[in-house]
Amino acid sequence: MQPGIHRTDGTDPEEASGLLEAEDTLDDLRGVRDVLDTGWSPPERPWAVDDWGTTEAEESAGESLDGRLARELPDGAADEGDGLGDTTDTDGELLDDEVGDERAGRLVDADDGGTEDRDDELWARDAGIDGAAASAEEAAVHVVRDRDR
């Protein structure tokens, strides 16, 4: 193609590098002004060259079950955590013995609202878990047993 002549789609082949400029892309260019200045680091060694099935002969012959089982890696042992609570992937969330494990149901007034409540304390009874989905507040209420029982 002669210099100065554009293709029918309006693009100049000398300017069409196929790479977007920094303002036209969502990629993080790590402070590089020109897209062509970004580098690429090859892997330490080629990927999958030692794997089964990379040659045409291996692919056509297929792999035996014994070969597949020999390449299997056993699952790693589960992380026991740090012994601080019930999570293994955090710094530990201490278990609180003040909070029960059993979820409470709907709490209703102990006297079913029949009389005016003049007590300084609030008393309620557990009416059981509602058949519908509980709100976040209701799901947060748990039963705490008395220690002397």
Report yes or no on whether pTM surpasses 0.95.
Answer: no
**How is the chain classified by DSSP, letter by letter?**
--TTPPPTTS--TTT--S---GGG--S--TT-SSGGG---PPPSS-TTSSSTT-SHHHHHH---HHHHHHH--PPPPPP---SSBS-SSSS-B---TTS-SSBP--EEETTTTSS----SS--EEE----SSPPPHHHHT-B----TT-
Stretch 64-88: mean pLDDT, rounded? 78
Looking at residue 82, its pLDDT comes to 66
Looking at residue 17, its pLDDT comes to 62
Cβ neighbours, 10 Å, residue 85: 14
Where does the pLDDT of residue 8 fall: very low under 50, low under 70, confident under 90, or very high at 90 and above?
A: low
Of 70 and 91, the structure prediction assigns the larger pLDDT to 70
Report whether 106 contacts 129 (CB < 8 A).
yes
pLDDT at 24 over 80: no
What digits encode the pLDDT tens for the residues 39-71? 777 778 777 778 888 888 988 998 899 988 988
